[in-house]
Structure 1
């Protein structure tokens, strides 16, 4: 977004709020929540002051922030004493209502795991709410001039729901992404206090239509008037010039954990009889195992490179300077992957599983949409579908332009935040 666009955008907002309190799970420290790196610029352009509240960082590398941003911390640590104190939540009317919802609305058996989850959740949320109250709700501060925004619909969103109940005049909102909206990806098939959050926040912004559908169908929230779809976005890039590849160059970018099923990509690549160059960005608990598997099974026409966890700008620089035939994501659960938005902004076709909101960004025109649990042979077929297809590349870029353009999406989102 250029400086002139920033100025025009700022002037288009008639009533500026003075302050935004943004609660993250790590940003701006370390390398997590890279998608906030783009959004923060749009937020900083319309709020006079942004206070970022995040957990005390283990990785103390601080990313670049706009000059009107400051950072404070809350603690996520739960001691054994805290766990005992959490039991007092059983006497809370909010907890009793949640127990009733679990039994009668979700029709779930009240297991020890569910009970522990909800009691720890509300205990942690009360601690975060207290931090917000002490830091940001001073008597001399006009509450109507502050917006509280939780980037995830987790304990921090619950904290804002509690805060909103105490201070009805403040504005509190949350995003939902993937794991924080879909019950089915959790062993307990449950997420705590969804009704309480939906009933008390001013707005919940889902990043996909599928997320909003999940709120209606699984959370069983009847009043959807405060639930809005607000897609994430990435910045404009230059579409890659078409080339005819003799070697299929494939890129993936994710944590190497069971949920991401990077092993499936490895199987598809290693069983291919055609030349394949596969580059993976990211690390995780399964990395060493998959690296060893590749070393033991690759043939002369397989070129495999694990680049580890890089800063987001380094990954984007790679996309700018290297020809890529396709990007692949075979996760068992997703929201809408920012990694796919990024590659489509370069006009790179994407292969993805039909989970979460993936079908809203990937289709057979701009890549290949696989079944939710594909075989390695199905993945290999997708390789052939996207190779040297200029129309898919054009369609990928068009998808980014129409649905995941950061400037368009974040302007609209910020305008929603500014509304009274």
Structure 2
């Protein structure tokens, strides 16, 4: 019997967009049984295939207190000493030292959890971690021969996205895996350049989405823009608001945003000031709706029932954004910053790239150009089908995971 253990963050709980929601069906077809072990579940559990169960015993092991207590074990002390030796200058900062110790303690806690779980419910045939976290190192310490495969996205990949350009135990996490699958060519190249000694275990395995209903462009002169992201600093929603306000100086604009976060008041302030300072009618107008955090089905329904001319993404760092894949599947062009894996998905005919650090005027100009000449929607839909369709990408990924079932599957040394 083939058993797959999947380490997740919140899946299968909550209503946030999660690629695993589409991937789990393909995994369930490829393995006899699957156990999901979320590290931070929240909300209600979603429906799952019959051969998938959920282990809720990992999450309580990863509280701050349990992590710190786990540091008292000899292996954890040794790991902590190694991390402090390798990153002595970084460890001089109390916040970075705390991050390192919590990561090492987390790995030790996972080691103990895995040993108890493998005895109680059976040793997995393959371990799949959706994020590259200390869980892979903890499992490797407990089981030197089990195949471990991890995806790597953005926050768990690019050191520059973190204070001090530091991700605790990053190289050790890679070394613990039998294979690491980046979701983008950019991510793969980054890892190969930084860790050439692990080149043979680094791969590209793309994510994918279900198709959105086809959307239509505006039939009038209004430019209808959609943004879909958390309202956090890395997504730069204030910059998006400033760009759309700039566009609305001489165009009629309808802007719908899906998502919420701490920068919501700032976004509302920018739009409010634009309305308060609006000049005489006829130059342009802006109608803004902030839908907040909603199920993905609501976003799909909006694309189906409303005209959409452009999806805008202003992130300062990105893996491959789900919103871009979904927009292309609906035939909608994208304007986005050229960061992370975005240049792989936004090419000629799909939309327009702007520099990684553009000003509002540059973004507004790009939106206007794309809205005025979007090109054929069918080409964007076909591009999505070839590269980012969930049905094919996840079936291929699940079959790739089964190749690690053989005795010859590559595993790292102890």
Q: TM-score, normalised by structure 2?
A: 0.88
Q: Secondary structure at the match of 1:159?
A: helix
Q: Is the 8 A contact 1:26 1:33 kept in 2?
A: no
1:385 maps to which of 334, 352, 369: 369
What RMSD, in angstroms, separates the aligned Cα atoms of the two structures? Answer: 2.3
> Are positions 1:126 and 2:108 aligned together?
yes
Partners in 1 of 2:191 and 2:63 — Cα distance?
Answer: 29
Q: Deviations over 1:226-255 (max 9, x none)?
A: 111001001234433555441100000110
Partners of 1:20 and 1:186 lie apart in 2 by: 31
Q: Partner residue of 2:64?
A: 78
State how far apart, in whole Å, the 1-side matches of 2:114 and 2:384 are: 36
Matched-pair contact (CA < 8 Å) for 1:30–1:63: yes
Q: Distance in 2 between matches of 1:245 and 1:190?
A: 50
Say which SS state the counterpart of residue 71 (structure 2) adopts: helix
Q: Is the 8 A contact 1:251 1:279 kept in 2?
A: yes
Residue in 1 that maps onto 2:352: 368
How many residues are aligned here?
A: 392
Distance of aligned partners of 1:24 and 1:390 in 2 relative to their CA distance in 1, 3 Å threshold: same
In the alignment, structure 1 segments of 5+ residues that lack a partner are 1-16
Shift of the alpha carbon at 1:399? 2.4
Alignment match of 1:102 (pick from 80, 87, 90) = 87
Aligned equivalent of 1:295: 272
Q: Does 1:65 align with 2:40?
A: no
Post-superposition, which runs of at least 4 consecutive aligned residues in structure 1 deviate over 6 A?
A: 87-91
Deviations 1:294-343 (A, max 9, x none): 12322461110000000112211211222100101101111111111111
Which structure ranks higher in relative contact order (CA pairs < 8 Å, sequence separation ≥ 6)?
Answer: 2
Task: Give the Cα–Cα distance (whole angstroms) in 2 for the partners of residues 65 and 230 of structure 1.
Answer: 23
The 1:386/1:392 distance shift into structure 2, 3 A limit, reads: farther
1:120: Cα distance to partner?
Answer: 0.9
Contact 1:245 1:388 in 2 (8 A): no
Equivalent position of 2:241 in the other structure:
266
**Unmatched 5+ stretches in structure 2:** 405-414
1:392 and 1:112, CA in 2 relative to 1: closer, same or farther beyond 3 A?
farther
Residue by residue, what CA displacement relative to the aligned partner does 1:361-385 show, whole Å, maximum 9, x if unpaired? 1134210111001111011111122
TM-score (norm 1): 0.86
Which of 209, 222, 240 pairs up with 1:234? 209
Distance apart, 1:286 and its partner CA: 0.9
CA drift at 1:406:
1.0
Counterpart-to-counterpart distance in 1, 2:2 and 2:75 = 38
Partner residue in 1 for 2:221? 246
Q: Is the 8 A contact 2:320 2:340 kept in 1?
A: yes
Distance 2:82 2:376 in 1: 50
User: Structure 1 residue 225: deviation in Å?
Assistant: 0.8
- Does structure 1 retain, via aligned residues, the 8 Å contact 2:227–2:311? yes
